[in-house]
Structure 1
Amino acid sequence: MIETAGLSRAQLRRLLRERRRALAPQRQRQAARRLYRQLAQHPLFRRCRHVALYLPNDGEIDPGLLLDAAQRRGKATYLPVLNAWPATRMVFQRIHPGEALHLNRFRIREPRPNRARQRKVWTLDLLLMPLVGFDCEGGRLGMGGGFYDRSLAYRTRHKYCRKPALLGLAHECQKVDRLALASWDVPLEATVTDKAWYAADRKMMRRGQLHRDPCGACE
């Protein structure tokens, strides 16, 4: 575990990115298999009908086995897609097995934008998120672009709108002692690594509870 005292966010981000990029391909594949075993039979994953994931980049842990499992089980699966305009907006678009992908401006694979297949984030059941660093209290350090924070900003305005369940995915080496949350940061329910679960909302994790939207619309 890395101690964050005396490190700026930029310094911490650089250190953690170096750590995950240093993992050998064999270690990455092993971590992906272990991540799958951690999550595949958990009630949160088994019960969800609409789940968003990501495709790995820059040494991120690979949720590809979970994506394959979700599609085999008949779940609707989604990937993040960056808008051309406004350039700071990200949406979630349904993806089908074998679909052709292209590289976005960050050289990350994503489907071609298709509004008819996009879904509002608050109507998803489960969102599996990449991260650079995490702590045990739901803190998440991202790449610095703020795409996920902007997509989830409605949760700070509508306190009772708790969908989707938010799980960060990471290598164990990305764990830090504590992350100071900014006002725009949206905490995770838990982070899942290749070795363990770190649940901030322990009651929800034990029950495998999927949040329901009591107000019907979180806009």
Structure 2
Amino acid sequence: MQKTRHQIRQHVRQQRRALCKQQQRRLSQDLPQQFQYHPKLQQAKHVALYLAHDGELCTLPLIEWFWAQGIKTYLPVLDPYNEGQLLFLHYHADSPMLKNKFGIDEPCRQQNTAIEAHDLDIIFTPLVAFDQSGNRLGMGGGFYDRTLAPWFEHKTGPYPIGLAHDLQCLPQLPTESWDVPLPEVITPTKIWQWK
């Protein structure tokens, strides 16, 4: 019997939460090596990432590597005025943080720290699972699908790259019409690319 999207989410989230802190730390430390010669980063000046939550691949070593390269980093924030939309706020080592309604750390909203999504060069997206065709399964809120829709429909806006543990790759995922497939997903050991 084919698993539902909900069952897949539960199963994969349980697997990634089962990784011990030492495994999480080691895997996240390997991530910047995947980006050293990545062609999309050669021109990038503004990138959006996320802070790990619920067993997601930790992005802090990657964020620190971007800072060392002079690349400005931004984090997603729930838009208080547009339900279901994301804002992207500049993130640095001294950014004041607060927890959103999902318990995820995000920068405090301050004037002049936001960037329009279409002005980002790359958006690194979290995901629950991905398959060998580039389909992405998120948490179910549709935040990233809405944000990435212009790229998917017109190839305009920021280039999306998924970040995940290797264990989050599945042979095939059930998809919906609103799902935005990714052109690539990067894990600590591999770069998966699709055209």
* 8 A contact 1:136–1:199 mirrored in 2: no
Separation in 2, partners of 1:77, 1:154: 21
Which deviates more, 18-27 or 98-107?
A: 98-107
Is structure 2 residue 178 aligned with structure 1 residue 172?
Answer: no
Is structure 2 residue 74 aligned with structure 1 residue 78?
Answer: yes
Residue of structure 2 in register with 1:56 after alignment: 52
Q: Percent identity?
A: 38
Q: Which runs of 5+ in 1 are unaligned?
A: 202-219
1:115-153 Cα offsets, whole Å, 9 max, x none, are 522112122111111100001221100011111111222
Is structure 2 residue 91 aligned with structure 1 residue 95?
Answer: yes
Separation in 2, partners of 1:147, 1:182: 15
Residue of structure 1 in register with 2:105 after alignment: 109
Separation in 2, partners of 1:110, 1:40: 27
Residue of structure 1 in register with 2:117 after alignment: 121
* 8 A contact 1:71–1:97 mirrored in 2: no
Matched residue pairs, number?
195
For normalisation by structure 2, the TM-score amounts to 0.93
CA RMSD of aligned residues (A): 1.5
Cα gap change, 1:25 to 1:151, in 2 (>3 Å): same
For normalisation by structure 1, the TM-score amounts to 0.84
Which deviates more, 12-21 or 73-82?
A: 73-82
Residue of structure 1 in register with 2:182 after alignment: 188
After TM superposition, list the pairs within 5 Å mapping 1:151-170 onto structure 2: 151-156=147-152, 158-161=153-156, 163-170=157-164
User: Any runs of at least 4 consecutive aligned residues in structure 1 with deviations exceeding 6 A, and if so which?
Assistant: none
SS of equivalent residue, structure 1 residue 94: strand
